[in-house]
Amino acid sequence: MTDAQIIGWGHTVFGKSDQPDTESLMAGVVAEALAHAQVAPEDVDGVFVGVYNNGFQKQDFQGALVAMGEPRLAHVPATRYENACATGSAALHGALDFIAAGRGRIALVVGAEKMTAIPMSEVGDVLLTACYRREEADVEGGFAGVFGKIAQSYFQRYGDRSEELAMIAAKNHANGMANPYAHMRKDFGLDFCNTVSDKNPRVAGPLRRTDCSLVSDGAAVLVIADADTAAHAPRAIGFRSRAQANDIMAISRRDILEFRGAGMAWAQALDAAGVTLDDLSLVETHDCFTIAEMLEYEAMGLAEPGQGHRIIRDGITQRTGRLPVNPSGGLKAKGHPIGATGVSMHVMAAMQLMNEADGMQIPGATLAGVFNMGGAAVANYVSILERVK
């Protein structure tokens, strides 16, 4: 187990927020997380901020914005991280490294994004900055178009799996009903998700609206402490292991259906933790699109290549299945405010392990996996979490 542990958290409701920017989104949730951890701002040794931005708002220099909401953090070293859709996990790894190096006892990890302040016509172009623009900027449908092409390639190689993608969407929306932080708390059902209609049109390639995660605003915070400090905290979640593995950015230079970097990160994390998938109580995985969740079943080792559809058909990843995946509703229902996503996923897993997940709770959860990726499986992060106290 690594030295650093989660001792508290905060989380806004995801969705279209009245808060005008990341500064205001972060302000309230930082105070909530510190109170939850029973930590005073004066005790924080480092602030690690994950905000993607890249055009969502004109104000940047995001690391310094945390102290604008909590002036007592004004002289605490603060650094901003960006790693596409894995921005939040990048900030978390920075904090974990900071604690492991002995540079501080307590760190604050803040993830946030304000996506809805610009026209939707501009959102797609901003998100394409997470692609290799030299080759992929003209893909029709923006970032959804990239995953639409991935889905089309998957169907060409392994057969049409539209219904199984709809099953993933229906599962995650049903799970999101119990998540008080979720952007979309509505159980659409399989028939709606599997039918193209005016309310569920095709967005890109074979992907329908219900196959795509939501454009959301939101923020999430983790309080991280060393083991000695965590021993005196009201709660503590340890990292049995953590791993990061990258892959080449340009889709043209790899087999995009392999999600090789994701598979490497999972293999490294499971090996370091000394566990298998059978030991996990749940997984929070990066379902930016339903085809991503299906490919992640294969990358994590639940299924052989091309067989991910069997996992959802057999009910393995349902909340009552052998390995519940996205009991929070995932990005699909909870929403996907880019910088907040990786932090949020760890909050959801920590809540499960502390038996504080209320209606989302997986009974007896003892070990949780988290997978967060940036771009089309370019920056890949896996955590194996367990309760310490």
For the residues 99-119, what does the mean pLDDT come to? 97
94: in domain: yes
The residue assigned the tokens 């609206």 is: 209
Q: What is the DSSP letter of 325?
A: B
Give the phi and the psi of residue 41 in degrees, each rounded to 5. Answer: -55, -35
Angstrom distance (rounded) from CA 160 to CA 152: 8
CATH code for the domain of 112: 3.40.47.10
- For the beta carbon of residue 364, count every other beta carbon within 10 angstroms: 7
For the residues 177-200, what does the mean pLDDT come to? 98
Give the phi and the psi of residue 113 in degrees, each rounded to 5. Answer: -160, 140
Encode pLDDT of 204-213 as tens digits.
999 999 999 9
Encode pLDDT of 244-290 as tens digits.
999 999 999 999 999 999 999 999 999 999 999 999 999 999 999 99
The two beta strands, 218-225 and 5-11, are antiparallel
The answer to whether 233 and 225 are in contact (CB under 8 A) is: yes
184: in domain: no
27: in domain: yes
Encode pLDDT of 33-64 as tens digits.
999 999 999 999 999 999 999 999 999 999 99
Region for residue 375 given its phi and psi (left: phi exceeds 0; alpha: psi -120 to 50; beta: otherwise):
left
Paired with 372 in beta bridges are 381
For the residues 320-331, what does the mean pLDDT come to? 98
Total domains in the chain come to 1
For residue 71, what are the contacts with CB-CB under 8 A and spacing of at least 6?
A: none
For the residues 221-245, what does the mean pLDDT come to? 98
Q: Which of 27, 11, 132 is nearest to 73 (CA)?
A: 27
Q: Which of 385, 131, 40 is nearest to 243 (CA)?
A: 385
93: in domain: yes
Question: Average pLDDT, whole number, for the chain?
Answer: 97
- For the beta carbon of residue 120, count every other beta carbon within 10 angstroms: 9
Distance of alpha carbon 93 from its chain centroid, rounded?
A: 14
Q: Which residue has the higher pLDDT, 141 or 178?
A: 178
Angstrom distance (rounded) from CA 249 to CA 146: 13
The residue assigned the tokens 């509703």 is: 329
Give the phi and the psi of residue 204 in degrees, each rounded to 5. Answer: -160, 125
244: in domain: no
For the residues 283-311, what does the mean pLDDT come to? 98
The boundaries of the domain holding residue 81 are: 5-118+215-230
The answer to whether 13 and 181 are in contact (CB under 8 A) is: yes
Position 142 scores a pLDDT of: 84
Position 121 scores a pLDDT of: 86
Query: Is the torsion defined by CA of 103, 50, 86, 326 positive or negative?
Result: positive
250: in domain: no
Encode pLDDT of 149-174 as tens digits.
999 999 999 999 999 999 999 999 99
Position 2 scores a pLDDT of: 54
- Statement: residue 1 has pLDDT above 50: no
342: in domain: no
Encode pLDDT of 352-380 as tens digits.
999 999 999 999 999 999 999 999 999 99
- Statement: residue 344 has pLDDT above 80: yes
55: in domain: yes
